[in-house]
Structure 1
């Protein structure tokens, strides 16, 4: 993988990457309804020879690989905690959000189109919360070193604030007025008194 670069906006570390999507044949009972599925294959360094348009890399017996160049992975200071969470997991990875084409534009059938690539655990979580398709593949060591250097410089651990136990909170009614609880027996005759 090429060395990470610092370009584009001032003080905004970026990497230029390309995404490879793979169509593979399914086996088993579900293959009657869906013989193929698309999956994320890899994230690789973008190279000038890739061009700017998606292109078919391989088509063997219906299994296909498509290269999608031209993605920029940017590291933002306000995402430092999300990068920290990814960098400290046992398997740090790239997260890729992709969508299927509505209509075929490059071949006889629609293909998946990667939309954005990130290294932030939180950003990927927001996409998943929005019901997007997000897949992950392992990130190489040199990218992780770059990511960890950014995290070390920009991530500040927020001190945990001690939450006061509920039993120490003052009692208030639904209008916010002070309320009290009594364990004394009420005076007067009750329904059970004879």
Structure 2
């Protein structure tokens, strides 16, 4: 991400309007990048779009137990994924929050977040818990739990009504965030002119 921001001009990008996004393991990566950006201060992240994110390597939520052996992603899938990343450290005391964001001591100071998950998937409860922590620690977090939806539902059934609704909700959130940034930029420009 640092390279992308440093080379923003080459690609016609605005380095002040960088989002991180990802689904499933990519959601963990996106949330980890947002944490790292906050902690190092090297770059600024405008927002994080987290779709059914894997946030907790301990795989001990109620939904992970409920969905064990069911659906396209269950607790065995989570354990396999986390073990591939962390090896024997998975579930132990020495896991970096940049790998497993639920391990972060604090989520305060992170950029606004859009967080979504299906109601019928193993990652449901850890996703809800992560979004609740974001909100409780002062982060503007919007959570959607899509009824009847499973892991990565919009990729598997893109024409389903819930998939269309979810994509529209994501786009609406992004539009609101950009509009708020535009208003702030305008106010800053106005203040600069009148100062």
- Taking structure 1 as the reference length, what is the TM-score of the superposition? 0.24
The structure with the larger Rg is 1
Larger helix share, 1 or 2: 2
- Taking structure 2 as the reference length, what is the TM-score of the superposition? 0.24
